[in-house]
Amino acid sequence: MNGAPIQSIVIVGGGTAGWMAAAALAQVLLRGRDATLPPLGIRVVESDEIGTIGVGEATIPHLRTFNQALGIDEDAFLRATQGTFKLGIEFVDWGGLGQRYIHGFGKVGRDEAVAFHHHWLRARALGQAGPLGDYSINTAAAPAGRFLRARPDLPDSPLADIAHAFHFDAGLYARFLRQRAEGLGVQRTEGRIVQVLQRAGGGVEEGFIEALQLASGERVAGDLFIDCSGLRGLLIAQTLGVGFDDWAHWLPCDRAVAVPSAHPADAPLLPMTRSTAQAAGWQWRIPLQHRVGNGHVYSSAHVSDDEAAAQLLAGLDGPALAEPRFIRFAAGKRQAGWTHNVVALGLASGFLEPLESTSIHLIQTGITRLLSLFPDRGFEPADVAEFNAQMAAEYEGIRDFLILHYHLTQRDDSAFWRHCRTMDVPASLRRKMALFAGHGRLQRDGQELFAELSWLQVMVGQGLLPRGHHPLADTLPAAESVALVQDTAAVIRKCVAVMPTQADFIAAHCAAPRADAAMAAKPLLQDIR
């Protein structure tokens, strides 16, 4: 086996995944590189002839860590991408028609010896508590249109607990990262790949990718190839034949239709994504500075493309800015995201619908794990296996969290929802639901993405209320539990009242130039956040 250092990295495909990978690899491997080390080249091969699917418009807070690691100023990033802030996701009509709740980021309640939600459950049983959303600064501020970055200088205030993510234009984010990556030495090659050349002759390296043949006649060789070619998986699937774990029996939506729209006149700029359940899927609404991203994710077995598009257009709260665009997908993941000398990122690695805005996060964690297990040209099998095991566990954890939204519902108004509420679910999800249903206990497995408070908010929001609470909460007199809960809500209300509106905060810190508004409205094959 060849244990020499990697000297050439080829990224197939640009878009969000390709340029995130290029920027991160360049930051770590090229910036300030020791002159005594062998030279290292990073090249992105992409074609303007091939459209991209933007998978990024709404994110979770982890992207802040990625941007900070690249030295990106948050205000500059938001101006460049016409971004807004996100405190959580509002779910409408999911647990039942007419019901809504917010899955917010950050803390619920306050730190106690026994988790706050047990005191809330106790107070609720006594008729002395409001909705769970009253006890988080994020879920109280978002529907009021208020935003403020966390104030760590106020450690005893809920204002210190604000956790935020972003809404932004994924195409502009890719362009922003491309500029940074090229500034660090990444090379871009415009060209359409017509052939993928593999090594032959036997041995452990047989089947490894050797080079890409472009339509121009250029041959692009590499040691490590990163497949960011989207749903087609040019290297990982079409060339190496890696199989796909299809999860359609749990996540039956297989289509999306997307369209940008104008902001409704005089409506507040809310710092939250909205997900509204429909008869055969759900509709997203993502507010950017100069437009709104909208889409309808649906099951083609339960509604036609024309009907899905009509429902989407009827649900817009501002004029459409383009024609609807359709996307087909299958929910699931590659059986191995790293095979031979190819690592798949983004849609080439798998697809989980954007219900909880995890698409960009999966790109980010794939990059992080690649850097953690970065190979030499020997491609140690144990490292490859570890990468695949970690990515599989993360996909499966997110899968279960998404299934929870569909399965835990009282809706029976359509064949789609009757299927979802009665379908068998993974044993891992059944265990979590049963544990919570008893005494409100929450369990996070290993390094899974969603923490206990996320599971809490969605299970309660979807209508699963425990039969009891943790017995240790009873060590406090009942009046003290009630006072704790009511005082928390009162303090949060006061904090929300002093926060500026999101519109005012953006105007003061990170407003994007209006000249970019026309570009933001241009439809890509996009918006599956």
The three-point CA angle 257-262-268 to 5° equals 115
The three-point CA angle 288-314-529 to 5° equals 35
Judging by DSSP bridges, how do beta strands 187-190 and 41-46 pair with one another?
parallel
Reading the block at residue 459, the tokens are 């299970």
- The count of other CB atoms within 10 Å of the CB of residue 99 is 17
Q: Is 472 helix (H, G, I), strand (E, B) or coil?
A: helix
Report which DSSP code applies to 187. E
User: How far, in Å, are 215, 263, 418 from residue 212 at the CA level?
Assistant: 10, 44, 48
Q: Indicate the helix (H) or strand (E) that contains 325.
A: strand 325-328
Whole-angstrom distance, CA of residue 385 vs CA of residue 344: 14
Alpha carbons within 13 A on the beta-carbon side of 285? 22
- For residue 350, which of 368, 337, 369 has the smallest C-alpha distance? 337
Whole-angstrom distance, CA of residue 304 vs CA of residue 300: 6
Bridge partners (DSSP) of residue 100 are 92
- Is residue 475 within 8 A of residue 494, CB to CB? The reply is no
- Using the Cα atoms of residue 256, residue 262, residue 264 and residue 266 in order, give the sign of their dihedral: positive
Task: List, in sequence order, every beta strand (DSSP E) within 110-223.
Answer: 165-167, 187-190, 193-198, 209-214, 219-221
Surface-to-core class of residue 305, CB atoms within 10 Å of its CB (0-12 exposed, 13-18 middle, 19+ buried): middle
Bridge partners (DSSP) of residue 11 are 44, 226
Q: Which residue has the tokens 């529907």?
A: 143
Whole-angstrom distance, CA of residue 294 vs CA of residue 202: 51
Q: Which of 86, 107, 333, 432 is catalytic?
A: 86
Report which DSSP code applies to 335. S
Reading the block at residue 140, the tokens are 């109280």
Catalytic residue flag (residue 107): no
- The count of other CB atoms within 10 Å of the CB of residue 443 is 11
Catalytic residues: 86
